[in-house]
Amino acid sequence: MHGGLLDAAIAATVLNYPRMTAAEEEEEVVVCSLSKVQDKVLSLVPTFSAVLSLWGSSNIVCMILSAKKKSPYRRIVLGLSCCDLLNSFVSPWQPLLVPSAASHRIWAIGNDAACSALGFFNQFAFSSAWCSGSLSPYFLLAVRHGVPHRVFAGKHECPLHFMSISFPLVTAIAGAAMGAYNEMDVGSRCWITDFPAGCSDFEEGKEKCLSGLLAWMFGGIPTVISVLIIVSSNLLVHFHVRSSIRQSQGHLERSVNMSGSQRREQNREQRKKIRAVAAQAFCCCFGFFLSFAPSFALRIVEFFECGSEKEADLFPLLFLDKLLFPLQGFFNAFVYARPAFLRAQKEFPLESRAWALRRALHGDRTQVA
């Protein structure tokens, strides 16, 4: 008898429970279009990249701290490398510490508190973009305007360091305090989304989402500003160097104390300087763009309402994001060591490129066998 009453109660509950429409049922079923293999690949790739970046950033820190000569350039690169070290350490944990109760990631073991912590570090990771942007004004002031290191250190260095750290840190704390960090719809990462909680841009009776506006204020616009500063500063430096060398070539051609062969040799040396400055500027920009471009593209895609049901279509872009975003420290190590690498190749032409790279990274500790 009790069994019959219980069955009747359950049947009444089921009949009276509001049924989902076909669209709602489809939305409920479609959670993530990634296969298990793709999800595992995206979870493992950041670990490989982070190890390489940790190696690169650690080498830069050791080279700068062991160098006898200090300069604003090296201190800015030191700050950039410290930020990259933190970012490289956090990146492998992104797919694991997303909330396991709500996430569809195959290896998710985290909770809301862990996701909020990841969001904090992801926001603070924008300090790398700010530090990269600080290098370009340094080159511009030093090369184009001839500002000495002492003057730059006294007037400009502290404000650049302060802005590079303070804005990412303050916004990271603000985002955590507001509860703005949740798992992103695209890519296994916790950052600004679904804020306020349960918001919607389309459903009536729900509060409008502020996630997009907040994401642009905290990350998008500062990154765009950094890109513009990097590009414009490097272009100005390159044009200034090219103009200066052309003027010098004109003086050489008008010189009556030099033979034709001497003028040609001087012109060849000056052209080498132009190419060296342009190549170094290009390497600095290229490493930054290569690291941040896929992640920035993903955030734009997500902003235009591309959800997790489209992740399979975005797998190539997701793979590039997971591979390249943690690699900035690895790229920076080669950019920072490039001048020393070229000098080692010139001074020791019989040695291999691998030896020249070790010499550039470790200095006089690497001796000729």
Quick one: pLDDT at residue 28? 38
pLDDT < 50 regions, the chain: 1-30
- CATH code of the domain containing 276: 1.20.1070.10
Quick one: pLDDT at residue 242? 75
Quick one: pLDDT at residue 120? 95
Quick one: pLDDT at residue 49? 92
How distant is the alpha carbon of residue 247 from its chain centre? 38
Please count the structural domains in the chain. Answer: 1
Residue 263's domain spans which residues?
30-249+258-365
Quick one: pLDDT at residue 121? 93
Is residue 59 a part of any domain in this protein?
yes
Q: What is the DSSP string of 224-277?
A: HHHHHHHHHHHHHHHHHHHHHHHHHHHHHHH-SSS-HHHHHHHHHHHHHHHHHH
Quick one: pLDDT at residue 239? 82
Quick one: pLDDT at residue 168? 94
Quick one: pLDDT at residue 9? 41
Quick one: pLDDT at residue 117? 94
d(CA 83, CA 200): 35
Is residue 103 a part of any domain in this protein?
yes
Is residue 330 a part of any domain in this protein?
yes
Is residue 119 a part of any domain in this protein?
yes
pLDDT, one tens digit per residue, over 111-127 is 999 999 999 999 998 89
Is residue 7 a part of any domain in this protein?
no
